[in-house]
Amino acid sequence: MSDSQCQIKEIIVHILDNSMGMPILSDKVHPDNDEIYDFVNKHIIKTFKDIGLKNAIFVNESNRVKKLCEELTTKPTQFQETSKHIATMIYDLMSKYSNVPSADLVCCIFQLAHSDYLGIVKLNYKPSFIHYVLQEETGRVNNIVKQKTSLPNEGQKVEECIFINLDDFSIKIIEKKYEIDGEKRFYLSSDLLECTEDLSAKEKIKILEKAVEDTIIKYYGENELARKAEYKRIVNENIEDEKKIDISDVAETVFGNLPEVKDNFISEVKKNGIRDMEFDVNYGSTKSLYTTQKIVTDTGIVINLPVNEVKNKDKIEFINNPDGTISIVLKNIKKLTK
């Protein structure tokens, strides 16, 4: 996905600062400014590639946000008013849930992959330090002061955002849990959107990794490094070739020699919330996770092995000794480098 595929049409900024006691809503869209449009554009592109992005759908047809989006498709000139309504709803939730941080809310209309979206990007304030020049009667004093309302820069991750497809009203969301009524939970999906969301690719990968680890330990023993490396190899191959992970392919490759183990593994994955046997993953954000197999010994030695070489006995061999210890032999090494 290149930056040119995202075309921002309008931006409006609302200030949602809890210390103000009320939202500071803008009556007009942001002036055309290439630098600011580029700033928002980069955050949108980066977020669409984020492994934590979740797909969701509205389950309450009378939801106020969905109604506003439906009206927006027939009356595009209502963008400013629509954004003000949504900003007010979010601010009301922030006032109700004190742990939700203050932010600038950037609402925008943009086109991506031939679809129009309403973007709701909550730029939570980040503390930063700036210089401040104080002119006194006795001379100038250059100070460093703490700025409490800095926005995330282009290289930082947006913690909360919503993209609503204005063609089919499907939702893409990144959200964060906050302490609410004694428990950590999401408020954007549950209180604002009243939607049901799928697990993110990041969450699915964690479930998959734990199921693989647990299955290997249960049926093969915790030192079965070759099978762990085979899991990483097939996942890396899936992502590189298809930009997705095929759980059936993983199960067959890693556990196919024992049908019962393979079936138990798939059941475990489904039990923990993965509904579909395939899911999309951005290669760039995950490739570093699946190219090496890290080995940490109880003697403090750390070895990082390319996953494709773990089963290559011409380069490495694992020997189970009679006393229960394991020897690792690295072979055919021509040169050692720092």
Supply the DSSP string of 269-296, one letter for each residue. HHHTT--SSEEE--HHHHGGGSSEEEEE
Q: What dihedral do alpha carbons 190, 192, 198, 201 form, nearest 10°?
A: -110
Kindly report which listed range (23-27, 123-127, 314-318) carries the lowest average pLDDT score: 314-318
Backbone angles phi, psi at 98, to 5 degrees: -65, -20
Q: What is the pLDDT averaged over residues 114-132?
A: 92
Shared domain check, 180 and 50: yes
How many domains does one find in the chain?
2
Q: What is the pLDDT averaged over residues 135-158?
A: 86
Q: What is the pLDDT averaged over residues 101-110?
A: 96
Which of 146, 166, 198 is a domain's end point?
A: 198
Inside any domain, residue 147? no
Contact 166, 117 (CB under 8 A): yes
Inside any domain, residue 337? no
Inside any domain, residue 142? no
Token digits for 108? 């925008």
Shared domain check, 238 and 170: no
Shared domain check, 209 and 165: no
| DSSP helix/strand/coil, 49 | coil
Q: Locate all alpha helices (DSSP H) within the chain, ordered by sequence.
A: 34-48, 64-74, 79-96, 201-219, 225-242, 247-255, 259-271, 283-286
Report the DSSP pairing between strands 244-246 and 54-58.
Answer: unpaired
Over 80: is that where the pLDDT of 149 sits? yes
pLDDT digits (tens, 9 = 90+) for 305-330: 777 777 778 888 878 788 878 888 88
Inside any domain, residue 290? yes
pLDDT digits (tens, 9 = 90+) for 177-207: 999 989 999 999 999 999 998 888 889 999 9
Domain of 52 in residue numbering reads as: 3-122+157-198
C-alpha span between 193 and 211 (Å, rounded) = 31
Shared domain check, 168 and 58: yes
pLDDT, residue 312, reads 77
Shared domain check, 209 and 166: no
Contact 16, 103 (CB under 8 A): yes
Shared domain check, 240 and 170: no
Of the ranges 46-60, 131-145, 158-172, the best mean pLDDT one:
158-172
DSSP string, 55-96: EEEE--TT-HHHHHHHHHHH-GGGHHHHHHHHHHHHHHHHHH
Inside any domain, residue 141? no
Shared domain check, 64 and 50: yes
Contact 193, 274 (CB under 8 A): no
Shared domain check, 227 and 188: no
Which of 168, 198, 228 is a domain's end point?
A: 198
Shared domain check, 191 and 177: yes
Residue 75 sits at the vertex; the CA angle it makes with 69 and 80, to the nearest 5 degrees, is 70
Q: How confident is the model at residue 3 (pLDDT cuts 50, 70, 90)?
A: very low
Shared domain check, 302 and 173: no
Inside any domain, residue 136? no
Q: What is the pLDDT averaged over residues 91-95?
A: 96
Inside any domain, residue 310? yes
Shared domain check, 241 and 172: no
Give pTM, 2 decimals: 0.76
Shared domain check, 326 and 233: yes
Inside any domain, residue 128? no
Over 90: is that where the pLDDT of 229 sits? no
